[in-house]
Every structure is written in C-alpha cells, then in structure tokens.
Amino acid sequence: MRIVVQRVKSASVRVDGQTISSVGPGIMALVGLHENDTEVDAEYCCKRLLGAKLWANDNGGQWRHGVKQKGFEVLCVSQFTLYGTLSKKKNQPDYKLAMKSVPAEALYNRFLELLRDTYSHDKIYDGQFGAMMDVDLVNDGPVTIVIDSEQPPNNEASNPT
C-alpha cells in the first residue's frame, strides 16, 4: 500500500462538476493499493497516516503534532496510478502492480473504516472510488510524505554507506 500524504490548508474533490468532499486544514492522502496488499497493510498505513507528526506544537516545536492532535480533517482519494510503471521502449504506463478494481475497492473501504474507527467518523472524507475526479488542494508548506507498507530490506535500511 502506498500513500502520498500532503499537508494542506484545504482540499476538495469534484466528480462531474459536483464537489463531493472538501476539507479545511489537514491531510490530503492519495491511496494506492498493490496487488498483494492485505488488511495488515491497511492497518499499518492507518497507524502511520494518523500518527504522522506534520505540524508544530503550541510552543512552536516543529514536527510535534499529528492530524488527530490538531483536530484536523483527512481527505483520501483512491489512486491506482501510484503503482504505475513506464514501459522501457514506449514510455507507456502499465498498472499491472495495482490491485484489481473489485478487491481494491473492498480494501480501500476497509482502510477508510479503520481511519474512521481510529480517529473520528466526521473527520475522514474521500473521493469516489473508480471515478474520474478533479482534485484541488492548497499545499501547506509544502509538506509531502510517502508512506509505503512494504519495508525496505534490512541491508538497505541499516547500511551506512
């Protein structure tokens, strides 16, 4: 599972010209599901997303508060293209690593449920799964973090060279 997390002043999603979700300050999260993802990946990413310390505390200490501590909102947008690759010769996108639509929608909805149960039902918003969406946001910073549920091999994570 891959999430591109952006700290935002505001964000919204429109489908067919109609705004279906909008948030004030908080997080805009683009959520991609890998073909091998499970609920364990969703649980891990939920914990990391809600625990990410992207804001200063009241004393000005940078990177001390997360979205829950600030009482801010989260807008999630499903985005299978996060697992896209480009072919070597034609530079055409290939999405074979992305989870197929039916299981992806089920796991994405489970991820939203985990966020709502862990944080607050009225603070978690989303786009429309599988729809062509217009996404607007005002970055705050900008601050962008990528959360991947797969951990790097130990030799890459601990190799000081």
- pLDDT tens readout for residues 5-58: 999 999 999 999 999 999 999 999 999 999 999 999 999 999 999 999 999 998
Per-residue burial over 92-103, b if 16 or more Cβ lie within 10 Å, else e, is eeeeebbbeeee
Q: Which residue has the tokens 């999430």?
A: 3
Overall pTM surpassing 0.85 (yes/no): yes
Burial (0-12, 13-18, 19+ Cβ within 10 Å), 111:
buried
Q: Confidence band (pLDDT; 50, 70, 90) for 114?
A: very high
Burial (0-12, 13-18, 19+ Cβ within 10 Å), 87:
exposed
Say how many CA atoms lie within 13 Å of 153 toward its Cβ: 3
